[in-house]
Structure 1
């Protein structure tokens, strides 16, 4: 990669609370790093803005949003934020169409057929993630939910026979399939829910930055760097420009 030009640039924070692959990787740049690099190196940036990825725990991110600090939320979903967190913010077009899949072992395949189909099962979840439609049954003890810190830990518990099924984002599954077909896993045809990943631009963000980001995201389908990024992380099947919903 060529070095960025050494000129005065306006710093812009890009926030992400996603710590699992493909968004963050332990020993290589994740897709969040790659997308921020795309923003910095796009020809129309011309050295005006220096975007910097900032990984935040969800609680710290929520506070920044409520305080309307200037920044960009990466891979955000409108339905996952409160009115106070997204007040007066603007959203980009969808970048990815994702979903929460139920995964199980192929030898004990589980098909999700609604909340009651989980009664009596142990469900692997991720700390801090809300699965609203299941909360009541979990609180009543009809579904046993066991949380871990990462999707990879849930995969390990599933393969060890310690949980019956786990929730895994399709984006994460596609990334893992880049190097391993995951033939021992079964994916329920019906997901828990589908959702879109977008950029959220806080109301206090500089107007010139907002204009630049709108321009970039509207033209992503024609951006070769974006498609190379999708290929690298296995995400082409859920690219928004490939979906018609």
Structure 2
């Protein structure tokens, strides 16, 4: 009898496990607060929210996959099923996004100019940077500034990451730097960097969304749309925003 029960369990287990749809959540944003030095961060926490959401009812198992942007682009070109996290529609072509849908915005972010309070920099146009050394992050392109950087009119120094750039600014090695508002808010909270000056005019503003592949099916796409729609009333999301210092850029839908 016991052997029969065990046999039935082995037969039924695959069908029970197979009822849960596995969904990859791709991200190419590796800076804090999205990915931290310990490998965790807001991206992991967001995926945990999805997995623990009562409305999910364990129908979907979301798994975070960290990828370089080029590998994300290949997945989009091959119409792979998945979810893209923290993505900005303006940074993708219509062709790349054609086989999925954008959610409403999760965060309203900016690419900010930051400088020291005793030498505040106010951005007006690319020419306003001509007498300064601009700190950038290696591999990042800055829309609207690339021509002047290429010509040498804007002197750009690269760092491996935003924290290294902030350290260069504090030591006086650069005049201003570019940093996403989301990352700046996190470091202001964690590193007590309250005195830095932020230009009233950013380089640009952008929104962060989910992109959801149509290939995931109607049930998953509808669930994710409702999840994002209900985020402003989700107390666990509000706790995450507070924890990472992101309340100022959260959307109120």
Normalization by structure 1: what TM-score? 0.91
1:11 to 2:36 alignment: no
Structure 2 CA distance, aligned partners of 1:13 and 1:41? 16
Runs (5+) with no aligned partner, structure 2: 1-16
1:158 to 2:166 alignment: no
Which residue number in structure 2 is paired with residue 226 of structure 1?
237
Q: Describe the SS at the equivalent of 1:172.
A: helix
Runs (5+) with no aligned partner, structure 1: 1-5
- Pairing partner for 2:53 from 32, 42, 51: 42
Structure 2 CA distance, aligned partners of 1:213 and 1:140? 45
Structure 2 CA distance, aligned partners of 1:138 and 1:176? 27
Normalization by structure 2: what TM-score? 0.89
Which residue number in structure 2 is paired with residue 62 of structure 1?
73
Structure 1 CA distance, aligned partners of 2:51 and 2:161? 29
Q: Describe the SS at the equivalent of 1:74.
A: strand
Deviates more, 1:211-220 or 1:23-32: 23-32
Map residues 1-245 of structure 1 onto 2, 5 A cutoff. Answer: 8-27=19-38, 29-241=40-252
User: What is the CA RMSD across the aligned residues, in angstroms?
Assistant: 1.8
Structure 2 CA distance, aligned partners of 1:150 and 1:111? 23
CA contact (8 A) 1:7 1:47 kept: no
Q: Describe the SS at the equivalent of 1:84.
A: coil
Structure 1 CA distance, aligned partners of 2:56 and 2:239? 19
Structure 2 CA distance, aligned partners of 1:74 and 1:110? 32
Q: Describe the SS at the equivalent of 1:100.
A: strand
Which has more radius of gyration? 2
